Amino acid sequence: MDKALDMKVLVEQVIDICARAGDAILKVYNSSAELEVDTKADDSPVTAADLAAHRLLEPALAALIEGVPVLSEEQEILPYSERRQWKRYWIVDPLDGTKEFIRRTGEFTVNVALIEDGEPVLGVVHVPVLDITYAGCKNNGAFKRSAGTEQSIRVRSLAPRLEAGEPVELVASRSHGAGAVDRLVERIESDLGSVACKNMGSSLKLCLVAEGAADLYPRLAPTCEWDTAAAQAVVEAAGGVVVDDKFRLLRYNTKDSLLNPHFYVIGDSGFPWRELLTK
């Protein structure tokens, strides 16, 4: 990271941009007009809110650091032969949780991350409906901002909870990978005791681990890199880790495909999760 790049200033600038994108999303969300949903080439849904947020985010982020490109879900993806040259870039999901947006659950977010050499070093996850923002950057910690108040966030230790007879708290997708997660829950219960599972949409699941409200998020179904990068930066700034199914740190822009491997979001990285999760 350039010494001249003030990460604390940069994260505030990104928070402001994400909040404005959130406002653009809410204009569509709160509109009385019938919501129009189109389908992209990969069969995923897209709405006017996704596109409105993208149109705000892309130029605003491009202007923050000269020469740093923006990779957004809602744009044509450049070939890897060009992307592999990027040492630093922004990766954006203008509206993460479009299905939740369509269902009007409120569980959708604006995700922005700065990637450096494959590592998410700054991330902002904004929740428009709740006006809550999670943010973190490498070596500067993580925080949650809500209703004008800010608090530092940190992952929690698991061993004291187990000693007190409390359950392992796991978050999972509402839409994907239920069978594989059920089998994992059975293994955890066999080894560690009871498991409490909460289903939720979008990158909020990673943020719950980051703020110490959950212990583990197993993602055993497909995701794309823009789905995870921002919240991974928050998790890691809060002391947690995000690892793939081989227990390697999840990294970005390392291959032609933008699909992630299956992964685990772990709060207490000192707990011996590896043996249990890779059985």
Query: Among candidates 8, 3, 6, which has minimal Cα distance to 142?
Result: 8
Residue 43 has pLDDT above 90, yes or no: no
Q: Where are the alpha helices (DSSP H) in the chain?
A: 7-29, 48-62, 80-83, 98-103, 159-163, 178-192, 204-210, 225-237, 273-277
In the structure, what pLDDT confidence band is assigned to residue 176 with cuts at 50, 70 and 90?
low
73 is in an annotated binding site: yes
Residue 225 has pLDDT above 50, yes or no: yes
Cα 228 to chain centroid, rounded: 4
Contact of 110 with 73, CB cutoff 8 Å: no
Contacts of 12 (CB under 8 A, 6+ apart): none
Cα–Cα distance measured from residue 230 to residue 92, given in angstroms and rounded to the nearest whole number: 8
* Average pLDDT along the chain: 93
Q: pTM of this prediction?
A: 0.94
Q: Which residue has the tokens 């892309």?
A: 58
Tokens at 247, concatenated: 């227990």
95 is in an annotated binding site: yes
Interval 72-87 mean pLDDT: 95
Write the DSSP string, 180-204: HHHHHHHHHHHHH--EEEEEE-TTH
97 is in an annotated binding site: yes
Interval 142-160 mean pLDDT: 96
Residue 234 has pLDDT above 90, yes or no: yes
Q: Which domains does the chain have, with CATH numbers?
A: 7-153 (3.30.540.10), 159-277 (3.40.190.80)
Tokens at 177, concatenated: 């990978």
141 is in an annotated binding site: no
Contact of 87 with 220, CB cutoff 8 Å: no
39 is in an annotated binding site: no
Q: Residue 55 burial by CB count (10 A; 0-12/13-18/19+): exposed, middle or buried?
A: middle
Q: What is the pLDDT of residues 192-217, one digit of tens each?
A: 999 999 988 889 999 999 999 999 99
Q: What is the pLDDT of residues 51-67, one digit of tens each?
A: 999 999 999 999 999 99
Alpha carbon dihedral 221, 224, 230, 231, in 10-degree steps, equals 0
At 15 the pLDDT is 98
Strands 141-146 and 109-116: unpaired
